[in-house]
Chains A and B, each alone.
Chain A
């Protein structure tokens, strides 16, 4: 029973982190139709920006997290405006562009910070304990921030003109443009929102786990897996799938070991692709 409860706590914690990553990934696909291969890179960049702010500028950690969000969002905005925007309807070109950006980002981080893991620590340590059950304080803080960020994103998308505009472009770009919505303003905004979320996640999670140029690869794989499970482009699906992935990963790893845990996730996605190719909450085809 203790193990069961502990696995549940770990699963929810993992799910919240995956949700933040997957929401950004699916936001870009849902609105722009771009599969963003640089998403893991923005996670890594968020970690390094926060680390540099704390270590070299002496900023308090919360300000460093804010700086990470702003830098990754600004870079995403510029990248979309200058490069993606020109080729936004060419799926292969945007795929190569985002992959190229990721390679540039990881190489720059490798050159600037070196290949080894940084000594980057979360400012709060310790755990809430109830007998053998424990919940690390850092994970609880990250969980709370993740839930607030998810709520904030929902409010932006469903309670603001910006969100209505973005959703309209995602539903049917031609009709939205005919009604006066301007992709040249809204697309970079969507990209910045998504990369800012990735930067936030990187700034929060890398001091808990580790920060090195290699951290981006597994993040991209997990984001991909989650959004496919949830349905490419579906925000609700991504959030739901993220928690499913986190909980399945936790329970299978705890009860069957680390190798089986990874296998079960991929089998789950495989089965879903066979029986429900559009994902849990996805539509059969993008409207845009």
Chain B
């Protein structure tokens, strides 16, 4: 009897093993691209963490159903270094591994670099850049993770003005597309709100901002905005501004990275007065659950802060679209994506936007937030609802 029971258990175990093996009879590789080293590393690692989490979710349920097969999802990261050439090279490197779906890249130079190459490789990609041409009708396989400053700068400035009265602002950003495309839109939004705006650009790779800080302070601005400067750069700018005696508020109408700015600048005591655009409504408990979910499924803490939360819906929707399309062919996945409602278990409901700004409605727009630090105290992030085009 005992032997028979043992055999039965062994047989069942073997059966379960076979079922699990059959459940993941194939492997689907998807790319995660962004700067994973240098001053903007946080943004690229966020992209990677988000894609890892989306993959872990489907793998935990036995794999991703793709037609008659059920596949294990494997994430292949690529460090595109915030440059156009590295992103283009990344598209080719991932294509060489037969990867047709890419979550990323992040920055405007990267988006510019990857678009034509990914189109040639017939890859679907999601860029998170705030470039004025983040989407183009001639690249229908390119999707956009979140809207640029034209969609939210006005709301952030209006809120900031109620806390930090301002008449003039200087915007500091890198002198490439990753800086100029954002700072110029931010500047227009400040002007529309009655604030005199001056743009100051620096060479990407600058490590010591003391001369630029001296130049900025000569303009005697009420506020300095670090726009889309990488968080590492923005932290040094803040530190040197405060050391030079600047006591006004510091704004950030650009990419996420408040945690790193606080750390590099020397803490909340140094930062003092700060307002920022937050890509997601971080105060929402459902949104905050993402980190715990990541830790539960992957056994480690995610990297990337709130940027990871913002990137997650794109990764999840891509995998869902693969299931709906029954293939990882980029064109079929794009068709499935366009037909899907914008909805995420953590972010809630959003909209497909982009028609007005780019002529193509392939941009996710979820609720976002406005954060305020006043007198060294973090007052939290206020939720702002998403709106249709």
Measured between beta carbons, the chain B residues less than 8 angstroms from A210 are 207, 232, 235-236, 264
Given known contacts A3-B218, A129-B245, A221-B205, A258 and B37 CB-to-CB distance under 8 angstroms: no
B175 located at the interface, meaning its Cβ lies under 8 Å from any Cβ of chain A in the complex: yes
Residue numbers in A under 8 Å from B266 (CB-CB): 121, 125
> Are A119 and B263 in contact (CB-based, < 8 A)?
yes
User: Closest CB of chain A to B258's CB: distance in Å?
Assistant: 13
Residues of B within 8 A of A110 (CB): 37
How large, as a class, is the contact surface on chain B? Answer: 20 to 34
B146-204 with Cβ < 8 A to chain A: 175, 200-203
Task: Report the Cα distance A249→B205, complex, angstroms.
Answer: 14
A219 to B232, CA, bound (A): 16
Task: Decide yes or no whether B32 CB sits under 8 A from chain A.
Answer: no
Given contacts A114-B303, A117-B260, A121-B266, whether A212 and B206 have CB atoms under 8 Å apart is no
Asked if A213 is an interface residue, CB under 8 A from chain B, the answer is yes
Look across to chain B and name the residue whose beta carbon is closest to the beta carbon of A215.
B207
Does A7 sit within 8 A of B, measured CB to CB?
yes
Partner of A212, one of B41, B201, B202, B245: B41
> A219: shortest Cβ distance to chain B, in Å?
8
User: Which one of B15-23, B208-216, B287-295 is at the A interface?
Assistant: B208-216
Residue from the list B205, B208, B212, B243 in contact with A14, Cβ < 8 A = B208
Q: Are B214 and A212 in contact, with the CB atoms below 8 A?
A: no
Interface residues on A, range: 35 or more
Whether a CB of chain A sits under 8 angstroms from the CB of B36 is: yes
B38 touches A212 (CB 8 A): yes
A214 to B260, CA, bound (A): 15
> Interface code A91-122, partner B: CB below 8 Å = 1, 0 otherwise?
00000000000000010001000111101010
The answer to whether B206 touches A136, judged by C-beta atoms less than 8 angstroms apart, is no
A117-B235, A127-B243 given; A253·B212 CB < 8 A = yes
For A59, list chain B residues within 8 Å (CB): none
CB-CB under 8 A from B260, the residues of chain A are 116-117
**A234-276 toward B: CB 8 Å interface, digit per residue (1/0)?**
0000000000000001110111011101100000000000000
Give the residues in chain B near A127, CB-CB below 8 Å: 243, 245
A127-141 residues with Cβ-Cβ distance < 8 A to B are 127, 129, 132, 134, 136
Q: Which of A13, A14, A213, A218 has the most CB of B within 10 A?
A: A218
A57, CB-defined interface residue at 8 Å: no
A209 interface residue (CB < 8 Å to B): yes
In the bound complex, residues from chain A placing their C-beta under 8 Å from that of B206 are 218, 258, 262
Contact check, A214 vs B38: say whether CB atoms are below 8 A apart. yes
Say yes or no for B244: interface residue by CB 8 A criterion.
yes
Which of B212, B245, B264: most chain A Cβ within 10 A? B264
B105 within 8 A of A: no
- Report if B226 contacts A (CB, 8 A): no
With an 8 A cutoff between CB atoms, is B354 at the interface?
Answer: no
- For A114, the chain B residues whose CB sits under 8 A away are 303
- Across-interface contacts of B42 in A (CB, < 8 A): 115-116
Q: State whether A115 touches B37 (Cβ < 8 A).
A: yes
Q: Which of A125, A218, A219, A258 is B211 in contact with, Cβ under 8 Å?
A: A258
A 1-37 binary contact with B (CB < 8 Å = 1; else 0): 0010011001001100000000000000000000000
Contacts of B202 in A (CB 8 A): 253, 257-259
A171 beta carbon closer than 8 Å to chain B: no
Taking CB atoms and an 8 Å cut-off, the chain B residues in 217-231 that contact chain A are 218, 231
Given A121-B266, A212-B232, does the pair A257, B205 have CB atoms closer than 8 Å?
A: no
Is there a chain A Cβ closer than 8 Å to B90's Cβ?
Answer: no
Whether A136 contacts B243 by the Cβ 8 Å rule is: yes
**15 residue pairs from A and B, CB less than 8 Å apart:** A10-B214, A115-B36, A115-B38, A116-B232, A116-B303, A117-B232, A136-B243, A209-B236, A253-B202, A253-B215, A257-B202, A257-B212, A257-B215, A258-B201, A258-B211
A residues near B (Cβ < 8 Å) are 3, 6-7, 10, 13-14, 106, 110, 114-117, 119, 121, 125, 127, 129, 132, 134, 136, 209-210, 212-215, 217-219, 221, 249-251, 253-255, 257-259, 261-262
